[in-house]
Copies of this chain bind each other. A is one copy, B any other.
């Protein structure tokens, strides 16, 4: 039985913002960073919201993240740019670079921005949602600490490297795609461990590279498997998608890639060498009007959404969802009833409150 405490989203956002400000993050940027974290909590991506605040706290306290970064454009063309994030919070550098992509899209139809020297940027899906507000199709990708094995590999070589993109409807809510490239999130391994349950075949390997159903086997030096799991089910495709993300976010920007991506949590192993600066992100924005009348586009998206909802359901299901449905349901529920946090997360926040003097409750 896990104890759950519920907090109003506004309360957590205010707390996060004040914690960032405590370390010298300027108020506007602290509020922005707190908004990105809050988007994760509201949308039900619990692993990427305030549950991570203590890690940001640790990194800021140790001086590993620059609280007052001055992001700069290293190189650019009319529709592309590379940004150096000055080792700031990804929650601040990400929105800055996404804004640059959107401005380029407004000017020349599309904008593509690769970012080095940055840190974790929250949920990938936050950024395309901002693009939707301007009738842009937004893309977002990032890398992260190694956790995933390439197909036929027996060790961690890639981060969970998500891909996000969103498309607006007219009367229907938008299609919001936000997917990590392994078969399953690391959080699900931890949940299985906590519950003492086996994990399905196809999620993970142990330290010897053998497929394991024991969550502890993955945690102790094993790895997640890429989307598709094994060769027979397309594991080479999930691996290729993870590598694609790594190249666009890190090789293109001059950040660290693959197994050299720096760790986010303090206890994680330091990579064998450095091949660039920080982690990397990649943002894209395209004017819908650069291709088609936006109203016509949205009308077709409505039609597509309704068509897919009307698919004949598989036995025992209510039929297909539209990407973004579960997160939208969570947002509706949590905006009204608050954000449920498990006790260990609340204890982390209480620890921050005690050490900073910022009241949590």
Contact = CB atoms under 8 A, between A and B. Distances in A.
B75 A290 contact: yes
A154 interface: yes
Interface in A139-158: 149-155, 157
A233 B229 contact: yes
Interface string A306-324: 0110011111011111010
Task: State the oligomeric state as a number of copies.
Answer: 2
Contacts of A149: 311, 314
Contacts of A275: 300, 303
B240 A200 contact: no
Most buried by B among A110, A150, A244: A110
A311 B77 contact: no
A304 interface: yes
Contact of A297 (B137, B228, B239, B252): B252
A77 B40 CA distance: 34
A227 interface: yes
Contacts of A236: 179, 321, 323
Contacts of A300: 251, 257, 275-276
A172 to B, nearest CB: 13
A203 B312 CA distance: 19
A50 to B, nearest CB: 25
Interface residues of A, number: 88
A311 B152 CA distance: 9
A90 interface: no
A345 interface: no
Interface stretch (A12-20, A21-29, A79-87, A330-338): A79-87
A339 to B, nearest CB: 23
Contacts of A177: 240-241, 243-244
A176 to B, nearest CB: 9
A278 interface: no
A292 B253 contact: yes
Interface string A257-297: 11100000000000000011000000000111011100011
Contacts of A30: none
Contacts of A288: 252
A184 interface: yes
Nearest to A322: B243
A52 interface: no
A60 interface: no
